[in-house]
Amino acid sequence: MKTTLDLPDHLMQQVKQRALQQGRPIKALMAVYIRQGLHGPAALPLTTNSGVLEVDEEGLPLFRPDPQLKRHSIDLATALRLEQDALIQEDRQRAGLPA
């Protein structure tokens, strides 16, 4: 069934970003969010193919580092820059552009 919703711009931006991050159509993601709102959280969390990044039942990213890798701390600005770089690279790949 088709319907029209009048949603705030910032909310729709977040939905579009999540859809890109998860590689899912907006329509499918919105259906999941509506179902969750009506019936509670999904039974199984969504996961990606990566062993490092998972997406929890609310669609938020969970980073699980490889325990065998040497760890070092980074500041918030560096973490945000790395995240933004990864998102840009994913977007370019999905658009068929060179990474």
Q: What pLDDT digit, counting tens, does each position of 44-56 carry? A: 444 444 456 777 7
Supply the DSSP symbol for 15. H
pLDDT for the residue 99: 65
The crossing angle, in degrees rounded to 10, of helices 26-39 and 9-22 is 110
Q: Could you report the per-residue pLDDT of 32-79, keeping only the tens digit for each? A: 888 888 876 544 444 444 456 777 777 777 777 777 777 777 888 888
The full DSSP string for 35-90 is HHHHH-S-SS--B-S-SSEEE-TTS-EEE---TTSPP----HHHHHHHHHHHHHHH
